[in-house]
Structures are given as structure tokens and as C-alpha cells.
Amino acid sequence: MKPRSAAMVYVIMILAFGLFIAASFVGGYEPGRRIGETFGVTMLDMLKLLPCAFVLIALFDVWVKRETVERHFGQGAGIRGYLWGMLLAGMTVGGMYVAFPVAYSLFRKGASLPVVFAYVGFAGVCRIPMTMFEASFMGGLYTAVRLGVAIPLVIVSSVILGRILQRRGYQVTE
């Protein structure tokens, strides 16, 4: 699909969604109204969070030296890179909306591809607020088992994926 036609498809989809929500409010279609309300609340939450997160990512990009990232997250970091990735992901606020730009910034600064993949995986399963919330509802044993299974799987899958892509000469483009 050509870029221009792909953009047109996105515009049509957004317009169709907007028309559906508007028609739902006008026509009293309750599921559509709830979808619209949920969408609005989610958009407001993102608009509150993302600007601050992107400012922090920009500051990270400017303040943290490439050598520091290479030493702690690079090829020679070994298991320490995964531990640093887990620690950084655990403190990431904003979920995957923030994790992907941070991962890109880490990669641009010299982090190894497997560690970047691990960071993204850890951001999905090891965030401290999410883990504490889960432990309070599901119990500490459940959370410990989940983390005990998820962490090694994230590391193994990121190493495998990183090696496959490095062998194929994968490059991240701007």
C-alpha cells in the first residue's frame, strides 16, 4: 500500500470512529456512548502523562552520556544489562507508551538489542506499581510465581530475538 493511500485509510477510520461516537450520543446507543466516554478519559490521561514523560526522555537523551549507556546496557554489560533494564523498567511510569520511546533512546545511545528487547518485556511485566497492585489483589505467592516465570522468559526470548536480528544485520532507522 502506498503511503498516501495508507494515510487516507487512517483518516477514513478516524472519521468513521468519530461519526460512530457522535451518532451514539445523538441516538442514545449506550455501548457507543460508553466507548466514547472511555476513549475521552483515556485520551485525557494520556495527554496528562505523555508530555511529562517525553520531557524526561529528552532530558535523558541530553544528560546521559553514550558511554554510560554502553557500559551498563551495551554488549559488554552481560547479565548486568538485563538487571539494569529490569530496574529501569520497574520504575517506568506510563506503561508501553513511555517504554517504547525510552527503548529507542537506549538503543540510539548504544544499548545492545537483546537488552533493549528485555527492557520492553520487563516494562510489560515488572513495573513496580503494577506488581504491588497485583500482589494486593492476587497475593504475594501468585505475583512471585508470575515474576519467577516471566523474568527468565523475557531474558531468553530477548536474547534469541536479538541474536536472530543481529545475524540478519537488522538496523533501526530514523
List of long-range contacts for 34-39, beta carbons under 8 Å, 24+ apart? none
Query: CA-CA distance, 99 to 56, in Å (whole number)?
Result: 12
- Provide the pLDDT for residue 3: 65
On whether both 27 and 70 belong to a single domain, the answer is no
Give the domain range for residue 12: 1-51
Is residue 56 one of the residues assigned to a domain? no
On whether both 28 and 84 belong to a single domain, the answer is no
Is residue 57 one of the residues assigned to a domain? no
Mean pLDDT confidence for 127-142: 91
On whether both 156 and 77 belong to a single domain, the answer is yes
- What are the Cα distances from residue 92, in Å, to 36, 51, 95, 103, 172? 28, 15, 7, 11, 22
- List pLDDT tens digits, range 75-112: 888 899 999 999 999 988 777 888 888 999 999 898 99
Q: What is the DSSP string of 159-170?
A: HHHHHHHHHTT-
On whether both 141 and 70 belong to a single domain, the answer is yes
On whether both 88 and 33 belong to a single domain, the answer is no
Q: Kindly state the cell numbers that stand for 152.
A: 527468565
Number of domains comprising the chain: 2
Is residue 27 one of the residues assigned to a domain? yes
Is residue 75 one of the residues assigned to a domain? yes
On whether both 164 and 105 belong to a single domain, the answer is yes
On whether both 74 and 159 belong to a single domain, the answer is yes
- List pLDDT tens digits, range 23-68: 999 999 999 999 999 999 989 988 888 888 888 888 888 898 999 8
